Structures are given as C-alpha cells and as structure tokens.
C-alpha cells in the first residue's frame, strides 16, 4: 500500500505571498491531519478533516486554512506568508476512528524569505 | 503552553546500551500516549503506544512505562543500535480530539558504535 504523499517537497516563497500544499492519504483513509514542525515550537496541530468536514482545529491564525476533497486528498493554504511560517508541514492520514494510528507523510519544507 | 514535557533534549548512548526518554503531562483527560520516531527528511512514524489502564507495554526492544498517578510515561530502548539514532517524540491525546495530538519537544538520540 502506498504511503502518504505530499507535494511539493520543497518550496521557497517571499513574505506576503500565499502557498498551497497538497496531501494524498493512504488509500482508504478518510482522515487527514496537518501539523507544523519547527525547531522552536516542535510539532503543532493545525487541523483535521474527515469526509470533507473539518472536525478539529488548532490555535493558528485564520491565514491557515485547509480543505478536503471527496477522494480524501487534502490541501492546506497559507495566505499572506510571514517569515515565521517557515517550517516543515506534515500531514498524517488515518481511518478516522478515534485515536487510531496516524501515518505521516514526509512533509513539505517551506522557506519564507 | 507545552502540555507534554519531554526530557532529555538529546541523548548519546553506546551500542548495546539502554536509552531512556521521559515525558510528563498535565491534562488528566489524556488517555492515549504514543511514541513516534523520526529520521531526517522523513515524517514521524509510530513506534509504540499505551493507554492509562496498562502500566507497561513492550514491543521488541521498545518498552513504554506508564505512571498514571505521577502523570508520567517513558520510553526505554533496550540494546540500542546505531540504526536507532533518530529523534523521538512522545505524544498524548484525549477523547474527541480528532486527529489532534499534543507532542513533546523531541529527544535526539545518537547511538555510537
């Protein structure tokens, strides 16, 4: 079974721009969660989608948004990029059953200049 | 605020030795505690997980010890191997927190030959 895939793997943007990251979950998985990983703050939860609905949300500003499509693929968008948004963005997929194992993708490394 | 505190930040152990990583949590509603292993350039991968009704769980060379009254849990890596060199994260979640895990800051483990 193919793992979680994330595209692109690397991205360089400038302040003020917007960016869209994509995540394809493991086949059959209906839940996708997004995390931001930085050296200073570690892994922080952004949001979780299940069957195209956002079920949970972390404490990030409204510039961070996401969506999920009917095939369970998910996108995350960050508008008006700030230097502090430079991070590794990870998505994880699962069946969506409570506290079931999450499988992480390799992440998208975003650098904001 | 960090809901899961992890220590030490880094650890050097000789091949064949025991690596011990500790985590403490505040929220008594947490009821699922996984450990993740992350190699450079990869997303975190689930190693082992425990629930509060069990005081210890072992899988191969990896053991979780859980102390509910002290709100602490730890990962023991027995017979450490150079291939175990990675960053380890403890995490915690609670009922209805769909996809949301609170992660510790991580411990970088280096196993010397």
Question: Does A98 touch chain B if contact means CB atoms closer than 8 Å?
Answer: yes
Which residues numbered 64-93 in A keep a CB inside 8 Å of some CB on B? Answer: 90, 92
Q: Please judge whether A99 and B46 are an interchain contact, meaning their C-beta atoms are less than 8 angstroms apart.
A: no
- Extended strands (E) in chain A: 5-7, 10-13, 19-24, 31-38, 42-50, 53-57, 64-68, 74-78, 87-94, 103-104, 108-112
pLDDT score of B14: 97
Residues of A in Cβ contact (< 8 Å) with B44: 43, 90, 104
Give how far A28 is from chain B: nearest CA, Å.
16
φ, ψ of residue A101 to 5 degrees: the values are -55, 135
- pLDDT at position A99: 66
d(CA A20, CA A78): 7
Determine the distance in angstroms separating the CA of B105 from the nearest CA of chain A, rounded to an integer: 5
Residues in chain B with CB shorter than 8 Å from the CB of A104 are 36, 43-45
Closest chain A residue by Cα to residue B98: A56
Residues 6+ apart with CB under 8 A from A56: A33, A45, A47, A48, B97, B98, B99, B100
Q: Which residues of chain A have pLDDT under 70?
A: 1, 98-99
Residue of A68, A1, A8 whose CA lies nearest to A28: A1
Q: Give the residue among A113, A108, A112 at the shortest CA–CA distance from A36.
A: A108
Answer whether A55 touches B (CB < 8 Å): yes
Integer Cα distance of B19 and A86 in angstroms: 32
Query: What confidence score (pLDDT) does residue A1 get?
Result: 67
* Residue A30, number of CB atoms within 10 A of its CB: 16
pLDDT at B1: 60
Mean pLDDT for B46-56 is 92
């Amino acid at each position: 079974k193919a793992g979680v895939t994330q595209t692109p793997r690397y991205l360089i943007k400038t302040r003020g721009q917007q960016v869209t990251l994509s995540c394809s979950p493991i086949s059959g998985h209906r839940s996708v969660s997004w995390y931001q990983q930085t050296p200073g703050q570690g892994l922080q939860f952004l949001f979780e989608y299940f069957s195209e609905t956002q079920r949970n949300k972390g404490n990030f500003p409204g510039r961070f948004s996401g969506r999920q499509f009917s095939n369970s693929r998910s996108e995350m968008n960050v508008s008006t990029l700030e230097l502090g948004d430079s991070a590794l963005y990870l998505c994880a997929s699962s069946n969506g059953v409570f506290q079931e194992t999450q499988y992480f993708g390799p992440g998208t490394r975003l650098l904001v200049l | 605020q960090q809901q899961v505190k992890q220590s030490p930040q880094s650890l050097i152990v000789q091949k064949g030795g025991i690596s011990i990583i500790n985590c403490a949590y505040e929220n008594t509603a947490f009821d699922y505690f996984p450990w993740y292993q992350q190699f450079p350039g990869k997303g975190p991968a689930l190693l082992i997980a425990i629930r509060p009704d069990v005081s210890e769980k072992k899988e191969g060379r990896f053991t979780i010890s859980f102390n509910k009254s002290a709100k602490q849990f730890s990962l023991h890596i027995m017979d450490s191997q150079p291939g175990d060199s990675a960053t380890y994260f403890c995490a915690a979640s609670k009922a209805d927190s769909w996809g949301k895990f609170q992660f510790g800051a991580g411990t970088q483990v280096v196993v010397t030959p």
